[in-house]
Chains A and B, each alone.
Chain A
Amino acid sequence: MKKMYKITAPEGLHARPAALLVTAVTPFECDVALTYKEKSVNLKSIMGVMAQGVTPGSIVEISAEGPDAEKLFQTVTEVLISKGIGEEC
């Protein structure tokens, strides 16, 4: 499963928003990746996510495979919207 999101947080996907996202997906069983500019990183790795340097307004792809993938996407969407980090596109 994969979905595209637009990052709207004014500082991009840095420290605080990355931490929120990583914390939200860590409890899930399935592997989850974030792809930005053709480079994929583990979305459960705060350092991997921050090192991507995702700037505001960018489109990222989040992909996950596994039994709880559907629930994971619900959570991701919820966190992104409620914390003002991004939106589905």
Chain B
Amino acid sequence: MLEIQGIAVSDGISFAKAYCLKDPDLSFEKVTVLDIQEELERFKTARGKAKKELQEIYEIAQVKFGADKAAIFAAHLLVLEDPEMIAAAESKIVSGMNAEYALDEVANMYIEMFEGIDNIYLQERVADIRDVSKRILGHLLGIEMVDMNRLTSDVVIVAADLTPSMTAMLDTKYVKGFITDIGGKTSHSAILARTLEIPAVVGTKNATQVIQQGTTIILDGTNGKIIVNPTSEVLSFYKQQHKQHIAAYEELLQYRSMASFSADGCAIEIAGNIGKPEDVDMVLNAGGDGIGLFRTEFLYMGRQELPSEEEQFQAYRSVLEKMQGKPTIVRTLDIGGDKHLPYLKLSAEMNPFLGYRAIRISLTQHDIFREQLRALLRAGVYGHLKIMFPMIATLDEFLSAKAILLEEQQYLKNNGYLVAENIEIGIMIEIPSAAIIADIFAKEVDFFSIGTNDLIQYTLAADRMNENVSYLYQPYHPAVLRLIKNVIVAAHQQGKWVGMCGEMAADEIAIPILLGLGLNEFSMSASSILKTRAHIAKLSKQQSKLHIERILLLSTADEVKEYVKRHLISP
């Protein structure tokens, strides 16, 4: 038995076999073969196995993700069966090379050739060639390749890191949790784990090195603990814990159909954050009062080209229809930073979080922005739509974005479309400059939504993806709290409302502070909605308010935490 400690990012306990997503060792020797016929046969058999595998994946992917996303595997099949590539490899085998070496040589020749052509489509094909040649090579070497699309039993994924698109592809029918070597509380995979409601532990540093494929593990996403090869006593202890976890959850279910009120009867709104139209169901199941953040970038990710206006319209419409008139805040494209779209050809940057991302891209690549706004405005007819712009740093940015939105609204009307009128237009507050001049913004916007993950990162100047500075991710830091207060006060002076869609909105310690500051809407992962509603139901807003001034005078995050625990949570 072995214990690994990591960062707990998504609650719950899982028991399953480890499924390690690490690149297998595909190294081989160059040898001269004597029996050429046998070597050709070996090559053919390996290709046959790879083909069968790919066809299976292709079929599964079509059902699971639709023809569009599955097309990548159809392309892999074409590469696998490419007569020129096969002939070139075979001729090398005939000249005495072993199949592994011949295949590698030919694949590298194509890779070099494609890399040399100045064309993004062709450069992307390099990844396909690599994938396919690795698959054949694996069969030649008798190594079983890992493949998330072919899961047939419960597993816990163990990986160095999970990219957002990989996480989006996880099939929760079999994936019961995941463990990664790197990452923190706010990495995208962590956020997605909470959205998918599967336990997750990240930042374990060496999980991929110590956990073997197929080992039984217990994943405790609540305490950040992983137990490898548990003894039967430990296993039964955790099964007991799991039962309690379920019982606690069932207890929470009574809050599902309740309105969100503080103990002293103040109404607030508890909404859900979503990434895909399907996630709406989880928010509704948890009795969410609305959608506080619809991250539209997932419509753009894991594909080869921009989604069309029609495709976006359908996605937004389905979300708005499902929400049946409950407020739904859609954030316009927030790409850049750690979220890439290969087909946009954005260049790599030294400081991506301080670089060309979010509204900055929308305001330079108008076509993409206008298309998204048209899709949104048309869909707005089907529900209660609010639109917000991410990463606003200056008033000019907001005014330009708003002007474009109004232009598109007029354009649609002129062309006979039904469009939503009087849509509330807001901004995300995630850059300190915007928080500081919130009074100026408050005159122009309809609402604010505070994105704490980035606001904290920018306020404390600490990259939230960098583990070495993760101690600086301090939601209770007095500077962060003062900025939040500034935003809420400024908005309320102009009669505008403020929500929060960052991690802090579901944080047990932060909630009483936010309540006391007068935050109007708390938006979070669907899995946190009931817990938060239950928590708020026990807190008095007036009581919290009385403590705010003293809290804002405290010097450190730790002092704030201690104070809230002592005076507000268990007074």
Q: Which residues of A contact B (CB under 8 A)?
A: 11, 14-16, 19, 22-23, 26, 41-42, 44-48, 50-51, 53
B31-39, B76-84, B247-255, B451-459 - interface stretch: B76-84
A-B contact pairs, 25 of them (CB 8 A): A15-B121, A15-B124, A15-B125, A16-B71, A19-B74, A19-B75, A26-B81, A42-B83, A44-B83, A45-B82, A45-B83, A45-B85, A46-B79, A47-B79, A47-B82, A47-B84, A47-B85, A47-B129, A51-B113, A51-B114, A51-B117, A51-B122, A53-B117, A53-B119, A53-B122
| In the assembled complex, B110 has its CB within 8 A of some CB on chain A | yes
Q: Contact: A19 with B84, CB < 8 Å? A: no
Min CB distance, A46 to chain B, in Å?
4
Alpha-carbon distance between A47 and B121 when the two chains are bound, in angstroms: 12
Best-buried of B113, B125, B304 by chain A (most CB within 10 Å): B125
State whether A50 and B75 are in contact (beta carbons under 8 Å apart), knowing that A41-B84, A44-B83 are contacts in the complex.
no
State whether A14 and B117 are in contact (beta carbons under 8 Å apart), knowing that A19-B75, A46-B78 are contacts in the complex.
no
State whether A14 and B110 are in contact (beta carbons under 8 Å apart), knowing that A42-B83, A42-B84, A46-B79 are contacts in the complex.
no
Q: Contact: A48 with B84, CB < 8 Å? A: yes
A residues near B119, Cβ cutoff 8 Å: 14, 53
A residues near B117, Cβ cutoff 8 Å: 51, 53
Q: Is the interface of B mostly helix, strand, loop or mixed?
A: helix
User: B86's closest neighbor in chain A, by CB?
Assistant: A45
B residues near A11, Cβ cutoff 8 Å: 121
Alpha-carbon distance between A47 and B129 when the two chains are bound, in angstroms: 9
Q: Contact: B85 with A15, CB < 8 Å? A: no
Alpha-carbon distance between A44 and B129 when the two chains are bound, in angstroms: 16
State whether A46 and B82 are in contact (beta carbons under 8 Å apart), knowing that A15-B125, A15-B304 are contacts in the complex.
yes
Min CB distance, A68 to chain B, in Å?
17
Alpha-carbon distance between A46 and B86 when the two chains are bound, in angstroms: 12
User: A45's closest neighbor in chain B, by CB?
Assistant: B84
Alpha-carbon distance between A51 and B125 when the two chains are bound, in angstroms: 10
Min CB distance, A56 to chain B, in Å?
12
Alpha-carbon distance between A21 and B110 when the two chains are bound, in angstroms: 20
Min CB distance, B278 to chain A, in Å?
26
**Given A15-B122, A53-B122; 6 other pairs, CB 8 A cutoff:** A42-B83, A44-B83, A45-B85, A47-B84, A48-B84, A50-B125
User: A22's closest neighbor in chain B, by CB?
Assistant: B78
Alpha-carbon distance between A88 and B129 when the two chains are bound, in angstroms: 31
Alpha-carbon distance between A45 and B443 when the two chains are bound, in angstroms: 61
Would you list the 9 A-B pairs with minimal beta carbon distance, nearest first? A45-B84, A14-B121, A46-B78, A15-B121, A48-B84, A45-B82, A44-B83, A47-B82, A42-B84
State which residues 292-342 of B face A: CB under 8 Å. Answer: 304
Alpha-carbon distance between A33 and B201 when the two chains are bound, in angstroms: 54
User: A41's closest neighbor in chain B, by CB?
Assistant: B84
Best-buried of B74, B81, B304 by chain A (most CB within 10 Å): B81
User: B85's closest neighbor in chain A, by CB?
Assistant: A47
State which residues 26-83 of B face A: CB under 8 Å. Answer: 71, 74-75, 78-79, 81-83
Interface string of B97-125 (1 = CB under 8 A from A): 00000000000001001100101011011
